[in-house]
Structure 1
């Protein structure tokens, strides 16, 4: 069972749908949602300080205002290894751009690139 999942997406409706899908799947316990990458980074940075449970799985949208997904990944890669070690970071995006997919494969901390919408079949 995955203890903690982060869902980072600026669209509330998409967050709601994806959270429901993740919740219906029996392998996930806690689902935390963030409307921006910067708020999610603040959460991740507080893990050691507040003894907050670190996520095992992060779903990240690419196209967000303010800090986009690529900028989040750049900041994420600079976090303490104790925070990022063992996490799976999955890009969950509407982008089907081959450049985005190729770029994601070149980043060590990115485990997969999935096109929206998320589904139970994908989670299996």
Structure 2
């Protein structure tokens, strides 16, 4: 696959997962820039500050559900409020250790959520995300 993503955003408080996800993504050579945020509030503040710059906004968001300060559900509520101000559409993939059917169903009922991936995210699942994204863009 030769399609690349310019910018991806990982929102997760688990430092080990941040490291592993960053490593998996980097090793695919499919992404130019990776931003990592430890909670939803940091990510929302970033999106607000970059709302009018297509180059600063991520192409894809990988979102954990359970974090301190602002969890994934809180992020999604805030995202829906700021979405009209963003100059590009950003697919959101929930990447969570939760296997609770209620969490999966709730996430799939939110139209801004593209898919739900149970941790750990593998190289294959990430390449699949990039492939789906590239088909929509190109």
TM-score normalised according to structure 2 size: 0.84
Q: Distance in 2 between matches of 1:50 and 1:84?
A: 7
1:37 to 36, 40, 45: 40
- Give the gaps of 5 or more residues in structure 1: none
Q: Give the RMSD, CA atoms, in angstroms.
A: 1.7
Q: Does 1:27 align with 2:30?
A: yes
Q: Deviations over 1:14-47 (max 9, x none)?
A: 1011100011112211000001110111100001
Greater shift in the superposed pair: 47-56 or 86-95: 47-56
Matched, 1:15 2:6: no
Which residue number corresponds to residue 102 of structure 1? 105
Q: Structure 1 pair 97/63, CA: closer, same or farther in 2 (3 Å)?
A: same
CA distance in 1, matches of 2:117, 2:36: 18
Structure 1 residue 9: Cα displacement: 0.4
Q: CA deviation at 1:11?
A: 1.0
TM-superposed deviation, 1:13: 1.2
Counterpart residue number, 1:120: 123
The ranges of structure 1 where at least 4 consecutive aligned residues each deviate by more than 4 angstroms after the TM superposition are 49-52
Do the aligned residues in 1 keep the contact of 2:52 with 2:85 (CA within 8 Å)?
A: no
* Matched residue count: 124
Q: Larger deviation: 8-17 or 41-50?
A: 41-50
How far residue 48 of structure 1 moved from its aligned partner, in angstroms, is 3.7
Distance 1:43 1:66 in 2: 15
